[in-house]
C-alpha cells in the first residue's frame, strides 16, 4: 500500500529537519530561508513496532522487513498560497496527493531563525495554513456547484439532489472557517465529494516544534496549540526536531542509549510520531513469519482476509481460499507455529474474516 503522509507548515518551522529525522531513504536540504524546498522530497519511513523484535527472536528468520509509510516534505506555505503566492498552487497540489497531514508549527523563540509573520504565534500560524487550505477547498466546491446545481434542481434524480445537498453543506462549513474533516460526514455522504480531493478533509496531526528546554514539559506556545488541537478533536505531539534529527543519525545502540539517558528520554519522539501517524491513517499491521523472513504488512482497519492477502500479491486475493491465522499473543505465548497448532490456537478463516491488528497469517490460494 503506497500510503503517503505530507509534512506541511509555514517556512522555517522545522519541516525539512523533521523529514530528515524520519526518512530512511532520502534527505532534504534544511536552510534558514524561504522556499529552500520547492519540489517535494519523498522518503520511506519504517514504522516502529516492538512486536517485530519478539517475532525475530522466536523465528530467527534470514531477514526482517518492517512496514513503511511514504513521507513527503512539502515546501512551506505562506499567506495567499490559495491565490498562488509563494508558488502556492504547486505546493497545494502536492498536499492533494497525500493521505494524511503532519502539520509542523513553530513553538520556540530563536532570533537566528527567520520569521516574517511577526511574534511567535502557533495558533495564528495554524490558522494561516487552515485558511489557505479552506480557500482552496472552497474554490473546488464552487466549481462543482456550478456544474451540478442547475441539473440537480431542474429534473435531477434523488442521487444528484443528495449530492448537491452534501456539497452545499461543505460550502457552508468552509465559509465558517472550519475544516471539512470536522464536519462528520457519513459514509453515504462522502462519495459526493470524493472527486474533489479536498485538502481539509485529510486527517491531520500537529507537531509542536519546541526548544530543547521544553521538549519534556512543553511551553506556553505548545500549550496554546494543544488547546486549538483539542478544540477540533485532533492530536498534537511535542518534539524538538533538532534533537530527533541527532538521534536519527546515531547507529550505535549504546550511543543512542547514552543520549536518551542524558536527555531523560525513554524512546525517540519520532517513534511516538510515527505510531500516531499510523493510527491517524486508520491502519493495522499483520505479519507473515517464516524462516525466510518475518515481515509486517500494512492494511486498513476493517479489511477482510482476501484484501489483506492482496497486499502481498494480487494473485493471493484473486485466488484466495483460506487463511491460517494465529494471534500475536498466542504465538508469543506458545513460542512457535507448531506449538500453536498443537494447542489449537491456529485457526482456519474464510473470506469474511476481518483481519485483526497483530494477526500472523499464511494464505492458501489458487490461481
| Run of H or E including 289 | strand 283-289
CA–CA dist 298, 204 (Å, integer): 19
- Asked if residue 13 belongs to a known ligand binding site, the reply is yes
Give CA separation, 94 vs 122, 199, 224, in Å: 23, 10, 28
CA–CA dist 33, 109 (Å, integer): 16
CA–CA dist 109, 232 (Å, integer): 26
- Asked if residue 17 belongs to a known ligand binding site, the reply is yes
Contact (Cβ atoms closer than 8 angstroms) between residue 94 and residue 40: yes
CA–CA dist 188, 166 (Å, integer): 10
- Asked if residue 240 belongs to a known ligand binding site, the reply is no
Contact (Cβ atoms closer than 8 angstroms) between residue 43 and residue 25: yes
3-state secondary structure (DSSP) of residue 102 = strand
Question: Which residues, other chains included, contact 155 with Cβ-Cβ below 8 Å and sequence gap of 6+?
Answer: none
Widest CA span in the chain: 72
- Asked if residue 214 belongs to a known ligand binding site, the reply is no
**Separation of CA 67 from chain center:** 13
Q: CA torsion angle for 310, 311, 315, 320 (degrees, to 10)?
A: -40
Closest C-alpha among 161, 296, 284, 179 to residue 229: 179
CA–CA dist 195, 201 (Å, integer): 12
- Asked if residue 284 belongs to a known ligand binding site, the reply is no
Question: Which residues, other chains included, contact 197 with Cβ-Cβ below 8 Å and sequence gap of 6+?
Answer: 96, 140
- Asked if residue 78 belongs to a known ligand binding site, the reply is no
Binding site listing for ATP:
12-17
Binding site listing:
12-17
Amino acid at each position: 500500500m503506497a500510503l503517503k503522509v505530507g509534512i506541511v507548515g509555514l517556512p522555517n518551522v522545522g519541516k525539512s529537519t523533521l523529514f530528515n529525522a524520519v526518512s530512511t531513504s532520502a534527505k532534504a536540504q534544511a536552510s534558514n530561508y524561504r522556499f529552500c524546498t520547492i519540489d517535494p522530497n519523498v522518503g520511506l519511513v519504517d514504522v516502529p513496532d516492538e512486536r517485530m523484535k519478539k517475532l525475530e527472536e522466536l523465528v530467527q528468520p534470514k531477514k526482517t522487513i518492517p512496514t513503511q509509510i511514504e513521507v513527503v516534505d512539502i515546501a512551506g506555505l505562506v499567506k495567499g498560497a490559495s491565490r498562488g503566492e509563494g508558488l502556492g498552487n504547486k505546493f497545494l497540489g502536492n498536499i492533494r496527493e497525500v493521505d494524511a497531514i503532519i502539520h509542523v508549527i513553530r513553538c520556540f523563540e530563536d532570533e537566528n531563525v527567520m520569521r516574517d509573520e511577526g511574534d511567535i504565534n502557533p495558533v495564528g500560524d495554524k490558522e494561516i495554513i487552515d485558511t489557505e487550505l479552506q480557500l482552496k477547498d472552497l474554490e473546488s466546491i464552487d466549481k462543482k456547484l456550478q456544474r451540478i446545481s442547475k441539473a440537480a434542481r431542474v429534473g435531477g434524480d434523488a442521487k444528484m439532489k443528495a449530492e448537491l445537498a452534501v456539497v452545499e453543506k461543505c460550502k457552508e462549513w468552509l465559509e465558517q472557517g472550519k475544516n471539512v474533516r470536522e464536519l462528520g460526514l457519513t459514509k453515504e455522504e462522502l462519495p459526493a465529494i470524493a472527486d474533489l480531493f479536498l485538502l481539509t478533509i485529510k486527517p491531520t496531526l500537529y507537531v509542536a516544534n519546541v526548544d530543547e528546554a521544553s521538549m519534556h514539559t512543553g511551553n506556553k506556545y505548545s500549550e496554546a496549540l494543544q488547546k486549538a488541537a483539542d478544540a477540533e478533536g485532533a492530536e498534537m505531539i511535542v518534539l524538538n526536531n533538532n534533537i530527533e534529527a541527532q538521534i536519527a543519525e546515531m547507529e550505535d545502540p549504546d550511543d543512542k542509549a547514552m543520549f536518551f539517558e542524558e536527555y531523560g528520554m525513554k524512546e525517540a519522539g519520532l517513534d511516538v510520531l510515527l505510531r500516531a501517524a499510523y493510527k491517524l491513517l486508520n491502519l493495522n499491521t499483520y505479519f507473515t513469519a517464516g524462516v525466510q523472513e518475518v515481515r509486517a504488512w500494512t492494511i486498513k482497519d476493517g479489511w477482510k482476509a482476501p484484501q489483506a492477502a492482496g497486499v502481498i500479491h494480487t494473485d493471493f486475493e484473486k485466488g484466495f481460499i483460506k487463511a491460517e491465522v494465529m494471534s500475536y499473543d498466542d504465538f508469543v505465548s506458545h513460542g512457535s507455529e507448531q506449538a500453536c497448532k498443537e494447542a489449537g490456537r491456529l485457526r482456519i478463516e474464510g473470506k469474511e474474516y476481518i483481519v485483526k491488528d497483530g494477526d500472523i497469517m499464511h494464505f492458501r490460494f489458487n490461481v
